[in-house]
Structures are given as C-alpha cells and as structure tokens.
A and B are shown apart, each in its own frame.
Chain A
C-alpha cells in the first residue's frame, strides 16, 4: 500500500512539474515601465496604453514591472525574465548597457529595447526617427511664432534629446531662416530631469522673457509644467511622445505634440509574439512607418491654420520621398543649424 501511495504521489508531482513547464512555454509578454512612471502622460504612458489596448482587444494578459530607481534595472530585468516574461520590452536608451549583460543569460527570451540598439541574437531594437517628427513640429512652431523666437526644453543634454532639438531647429529654420531658438536642458540628474514641473515652469518663464512665444518640451513629466506655464502666459506649447494636445490646464494652447508611437511598438510586439512572428534585429519607425508625427485633433484645430497644415503635409511627403533630408544628431553628434 505504502509503495503505491508513494508512486502515485510521485506521479502527481511529475504531472504538476510538467504542467508548470507547459505554462512557462506559453509565456506571457512582459513590459518594464521606466523611470518617470507609468503615468508620465508621455513616453511611458504611451507604452502602457499600447499594452492595455492589446490586453483589451485580445483578452490576453501581460506582466508588468515599474522601475523606482536606476539601481533596479538589472534586478528587474532578470526577475521578469525568470518569471517567464517573453518577449520582454524595456523602454529607453538607459537600459542598453544592462540589456547587453542580461540578454545572453536568457537565450530563450526575446528582449525588445526601445530607443537604442543592442546587438544580440535575442534582442529586437526599435528606434524612432524623432528628428523627422521634431522637424514637423519645428516647422509649425516657426510658422506660428510671431516674435521669431522659439524655445526648446529638453530633459537632459543627451544625444537622444539633442536629436529632438536638432530636428526641431531644422524645422524652424526651414520656414524662418532668421528665427532665434532658445534651448535649455532641465538637469543632468535623471531623477530630477523628467519629473520636475516646477523647474519646467521656471525655464519656460525664462525663455518667454527672452522672447520665445512657442516652446517645445521634450522632458517627460517636466513638460506638464512647461505646457501649463505656456498656457498661463498666453504663448503656445508643443507636447511630446504622447498626444498632449488636450492636457488639462493647457488645452487650447498646445499647438501640437510630437507623437512617438511607443504604444504601437508595444502593441505590435505583443501581437507578433502571440502570432509567433517576432524577429530580432533593428526596426526604425519613421514618418513613413507612422512611427512619429505631429498630432492633429479637435484640441488644436483652431491653432493650426490651413497653410500650416498644408506645409506640414508637404514637408511630410518630402521627407518620405527623400526630397528633404533631416539631419539626425545621433549620427555624428552634431547639428548643422544653430
């Protein structure tokens, strides 16, 4: 009797182990929200929206983790991979060095990194042509500005943000070669740069006193302060990453938003994984792929003149056809226009 019970117990254990293995094989996709937080009304929120849309439309579920600080990157990435998240999406260039170390340890997991290139057999890198989208909003800023001075507020002085800045400058200069562009960066401390609406407001006021009447914020949550201050001071703001045209306390003064379809990346990745078509390698989402663009909706309809809309469409077509070539700052770490 004793023997039989033991065997049966052993069989049950084996069965449950097999069941667990099967469960791991049908892994859930995972998403790690980066510093700045899930609801930064910008970059991370776009990713979260994409994941939510996928979950709602397909009824699937996904795993999620949110970084609290820089030091958690590796720990979080490994834990998610070990919990069986596959594919695992990490957001932002700051993950690149960590991912280079972590990815080889989990050859079965496909990692997706947004905004940076990591070369490994199991990593898909997605980059955006931010310079092209920024060119379009710069063009709008140049047309909308009456003073001939426009502002740019970046979170940190890093190549990714300077890519926005440089594209924006080229756009502004394309319609107004004499335009002045005032540039500021919030901080060199990542913990302070992206979550500091108070600093965003002060910088906006400083730029206004230098004559700026359109400001473009590429600074995550700090941009909220920028857009609100712009609205309060009666000038125009330009949002970033997500469509911020309708931001509370600023709607009606947001000329447009340079949208970066991070939501599409997340949605498509999750869907491709479910279909089994996810391939490692590099993808660049540019204007042609609808990865970036200037947001038009009911909130900014009154601010955008028909000429402006036509100019944006013309520039968009010209960029796609290659007629206009927007310089990418990160190619050579320099910008052709001042």
Chain B
C-alpha cells in the first residue's frame, strides 16, 4: 500500500468517524450523568431528516442544521421526561425513541415531499461545502506533513472540524468546570449531589439535552454533509456503533476520539479493500466490518482493562423521604 492510498483511506476514515464521534460524545454526556441512551440512532435519524428537509425548504444548510438539532433535542426531551421525570426504564424509552424516529421520519417525508420517504436532493448553499483550510496550498509540497495536512485534514465540511473541537470542549466541560464535576457526580452518586443542594433532575436534563444537540449535529452531517438528501433509515446502525465506541473508550472524551477514528478507519479499509492481505493471510471484508463489535465485546469482557460504566447509570433517582 503506497502513501497516496493511505492518505485517501485516512481521509475517508475521518469523514466516516465524524458522525460516530458526535454521537459518541452525545452518549458520553448522557451516560456520565447516569442516563443510558440507546436512542442515539433514532435521534440521529430524526436530525438527518429535519436538517435535510429544512435545508431544502429554506435553502440554507445552517437553518437545516438548527432544525435537525431542535428535532433531536425534542426527542432527547421525551427521553428525559420518560426516564428522569417519570422514572421509567431508560432502555425501553431509548428503544421507543428509535422506533418513533424510524417511522415518523418516513411518514413526514412522504407527506411533505411525496418522494417515497426521501427528501429532494440538496444543492449549493443548502448543503455543507468542503472547506479548504488556510495554508493547505502552501504546505502541500512539504514532505509527509504537507500531504497529510492538505489532503487528510483540510477539505472537509465545517461539521468535521466542529466534531474535532467538540472533543477538547467535552473534556474541558466535564473535567475542568463545576458543571462538569456535578454532572459526573450525578452519574456516580446522585444522592450526594442532592444533599449538597444541587438539582439532580436539572443536571440530568441538561446532560440529556446536550446529548440531543450533539446527535443533531451527527444526523445533520449524515444528510447534509456526507449525502445530499435524507433516505429512509440512513443512520444505518451508526448510533449503535457509537455506543460500542463509547464503551470501547470507557466513557472518556479523548479515548472516544481514538475509538471512533479506529472504527472509521476499519470501515474505510473495508471500503477500499475487499480482501486485505495481512502477513500473507487474506482478511475478508466481513471480518473488518465485524471488528468494532468484536473489539467492544473484548473490552466488555475485561480482557483489556475494565470498562466500568458510571455507577448510577440506568437507575432513576428517587429522593429519600
């Protein structure tokens, strides 16, 4: 494999990792606050539809993005209402969100556009355009670093850079601010947070809504960045791979970046090589496609360190009387 091919694969991996990364960080906020969320998939899907639909209607991809985020946050609010306010089962609520999104998006799309659950194709300002970063022309001739900068890092849509910036931002918020400390505490020991006079409900709702916002970005990137329209079920399991990445990363932001990039890389390799020959052994593409899940199971089984979820995760908080 030559250097140019490697660059193309890295470039593709970065694109494929972006929706995973945004969804993974979304899950990170929610689960660190003690709310399990298997509804990432549904929220992404809803955001994908509403962003594509509003980008088409208004002609502006940014308004589309806003609509996508709002739709995703509404679903997040429903999840919050069910699992925080009414103390319902978080997994069941998440499953319900997935079904709701899968059905509603197609139904509304058919009603609005009558193209069989698709949205019309987006063009020009209704779609995220690729941004060429400054100096990519100047740096291009520099050996190794130049091509990496100009071909892999530069030339993606704005949401890719937003996703990359969201990693340090998440780290800072969770580990360097008072809000972050409280949010993590709520996921470990909500009673202690409550005792100190901070609202558990308020914090958990904040976390769930941040989760909705980030899922909104992920969904919008799928429909208005990577593709040019919404297609039924287009999230194609990415919300679940993001959950796997979250476990793989053991609920830590920088590790989430690594995990998502690794999963993106595996997909990119699978796309490029139908059969990859490693040390003389042919690795079929199917194995590469299954690897994210295999790796997650390996991590969960405790072979590579231990993945311990936030202690209060999954349990609704009930005040003592």
B-binding residues in A (CB < 8 A): 37-39, 41, 45, 157, 183-185, 187-189, 191-192, 195-199, 201-203, 205-206, 209-210, 221, 224-225, 228, 232, 248-249
Contacts and interface: CB of A to CB of B under 8 A. Distances in A.
B237 A191 contact: yes
A242 to B, nearest CB: 11
Contact of B289 (A187, A206, A232): A187
A225 B226 CA distance: 9
Contacts of A157: 285-286
Interface stretch (B196-204, B209-217, B268-276, B308-316): B268-276
A196 B236 contact: yes
B236 A195 contact: yes
B289 A201 contact: no
Interface size class of B (residues with CB under 8 A): 35 or more
B237 A192 contact: yes
Nearest to B227: A197
Interface of B: 5, 8-9, 12, 15-16, 19, 106, 110, 115-118, 120-121, 123, 222, 226-229, 231-234, 236-237, 267-268, 271-272, 274, 285-286, 289-290
Contacts, number: 93
B232 A195 contact: yes
Contacts of B121: 228, 248-249
8 contacts: A45-B116, A184-B271, A192-B237, A195-B231, A198-B226, A199-B267, A248-B121, A248-B229
A145 B106 CA distance: 37
A179 to B, nearest CB: 17
A221 B236 CA distance: 12
Given A38-B116, A41-B116, A198-B222, A209 B5 contact: yes
Contacts of B290: 188
Given A184-B274, A198-B236, 4 more contacts: A202-B267, A202-B271, A221-B231, A249-B123
Contacts of B285: 157, 184-185, 188
Contacts of B267: 199, 202
Nearest to B287: A188
A189 B289 CA distance: 9
Nearest to B123: A249
Nearest to A247: B121
**B16, B110, B267, B271: most-surrounded residue (chain A CB, <10 A):** B271
Contacts of A249: 121, 123, 228-229
Given A188-B289, A192-B237, A206-B8, A201 B226 contact: yes
B271 A195 contact: no
A195 B5 contact: no
Contact of A198 (B123, B227, B274): B227
Contacts of B234: 195-198
B294 to A, nearest CB: 13
A111 B290 CA distance: 36
A197 B222 CA distance: 9
A310 to B, nearest CB: 33
Nearest to A249: B121
B117 A205 contact: no
B227 A37 contact: no
B227 A39 contact: no
Shortest 10 CB-CB contacts between residues of A and residues of B: A39-B116, A249-B121, A196-B236, A188-B286, A206-B272, A248-B121, A203-B271, A195-B233, A209-B8, A198-B226
A196 B5 CA distance: 24
Contacts of A183: 274
A188 B116 CA distance: 26
A202 B15 contact: yes
Nearest to B268: A202
B305 to A, nearest CB: 28
A1 to B, nearest CB: 55
Contacts of B120: 248
A155 to B, nearest CB: 12
B286 A39 contact: no
A206 B274 contact: no
B16 A202 contact: yes
A192 B286 CA distance: 13
**A192, A197, A199, A203: most-surrounded residue (chain B CB, <10 A):** A197
